[in-house]
Amino acid sequence: MKICMIGTGYVGLVSGACFADLGNNVICVDKDAEKIDMLNNNQIPIYEPGLEELVFKNFSSGRLKFTTNLNSAVKNSDIIFICVGTPVLIKNGSADLKFVFSVANEIKKYINKYKIIVTKSTVPITTGDKIEKIISKSKKRSLFEVISNPEFLREGEAIRDFRFPDRIVIGSNSKKAVKKMENLYDPLIKKGAKFFYTNRRGAELIKYASNAFLSTKITFINEIANLCEKTGINVEDVSLGIGMDQRIGGRFLRSGPAYGGSCFPKDTKAITSTADIFKTDLSIIKAVIKSNDKRKSLLTKKVLKILSNKVSNKKITFLGVTFKANTDDMRGSTSLTMIPALVKKGGVIKYYDPTGEKMEFSKLKKVKFCNSIAEACHKSDLIIIHTEWDEFKSINFKKFTKNKKIKIYDMRNLYPVDKMKKQGFDYYSIGR
């Protein structure tokens, strides 16, 4: 099939490359000319395991193309995926749809024959209705269908998630469009993915409700971890004990920093904002957002306690600063709150992240990026394991710090408490 992906970010680039790998002809469009130049020169603008090889393979075979020319991309495609960002609107927490509507206004000019326009971006209920209205102003309804196909891939696991999704959700009232989408996804359905369709608004809500539910699970176990810390219980036993109940399930039940990333923080806010418009109070999700925000200051307070409130000129190391491992994405990361707060208290921060230096900290004076774990840990007073990268899972702390009494705050519970204490480390973890 001939496909066009509009927006070549995490979602557009990964799914575009994966669709091409399934044998489709894919044109990825972005308004960011620098990004398109990089891609046309075999450079990948984001960090995602396996993506470079996949893009290179399909680009070389001619099935995957990159352009800034929306006109020809739309004209030459049967299915057009909208994959642009839907960030949060600061003033009220709703989803900012300016990129989505700007794309709708653009593509309406170039529709020359029947097209299926698919929102893969996460968009609030009724967005599909609005896109349909925009395009109807210049094109006959028989020339296009607007449908919803929310994306569930996770950064860091994006290619695997695309290839082996639990489910493919389509929201449309058009049997013809649903059939076309079923054909497009047929190779994944044959490998076991469930194909589920509902109406357009239903699919839009499924995406938000899924993210809100997963955010609730994380926040729930984080609060349970707080109770464990006060009562001498190991939260990991509690996670296992409740997760073995198949009605609950063990995933997203690991305590740690606040949830972050490009999706959960903005999507929880956007769903409550949409519900407010429809005069429905999503009080549980509102409580989750509040609890998650509070967690960032709670963890900072824990660091102050570990340092007996003497932070001035203390050397604090952050191992990992992204919101989770295997991604370079800093959006919504707990480190964005903790690091400035500790600097304000007089702390001197060194950080190492496998995905390199972060411009988010470039304006902070006492924050320095290091090129290795060893450099970051050298002469440190406190090491904070912030992100669960594999390379942080078996560190020889004694070798790196030469300080047996080094304080370690393991926010990912990567090391056994007994072993660390036996080795003489002043070791702290979450909920244990």
Binding site for ligand NAD (CB under 6 A): 6-12, 29-32, 35, 83-86, 99, 102-103, 121-122, 151, 153, 155, 262-263
- Return the number of the residue (58 or 119) whose C-beta is nearest ligand NAD: 119
What residues are paired with 66 via a beta bridge? 28
Edge-to-edge strand ranges of the sheet holding 426-429: 367-369, 348-352, 315-319, 382-385, 407-410, 426-429
Edge-to-edge strand ranges of the sheet holding 144-148: 64-67, 25-29, 2-6, 79-82, 115-119, 144-148, 167-171, 194-198
Question: Smallest distance from the beta carbon of 118 to ligand NAD, in angstroms?
Answer: 12
**Pairing assessment for the beta strands 315-319 and 348-352 based on DSSP bridges:** parallel
Residue appearing with tokens 């480390």:
425
Residue appearing with tokens 């967005």:
127
Question: Smallest distance from the beta carbon of 84 to ligand NAD, in angstroms?
Answer: 4
- The span from the CA of 67 to the CA of 252, in Å, is 38
- The span from the CA of 127 to the CA of 208, in Å, is 13
Question: Smallest distance from the beta carbon of 421 to ligand NAD, in angstroms?
Answer: 37
- Return the number of the residue (285 or 316) whose C-beta is nearest ligand NAD: 285
- Return the number of the residue (148 or 317) whose C-beta is nearest ligand NAD: 148
Residue appearing with tokens 């696991």:
157
Question: Could you tell me if 304 and 345 are in contact, meaning their C-beta atoms sit under 8 angstroms apart?
Answer: yes
Position with the least CB separation from ligand NAD: 9
- Residue 263 is a catalytic residue: yes
Residue from 83, 228, 263, 370 carrying the catalytic annotation: 263
- Return the number of the residue (10 or 369) whose C-beta is nearest ligand NAD: 10
- Return the number of the residue (32 or 281) whose C-beta is nearest ligand NAD: 32
Question: Smallest distance from the beta carbon of 158 to ligand NAD, in angstroms?
Answer: 7
* DSSP alpha helix (H) spans, 185-243: 186-190, 200-231, 235-243
Question: Smallest distance from the beta carbon of 308 to ligand NAD, in angstroms?
Answer: 39
What residues are paired with 407 via a beta bridge? 382, 426
- Kindly list the catalytic residues: 263
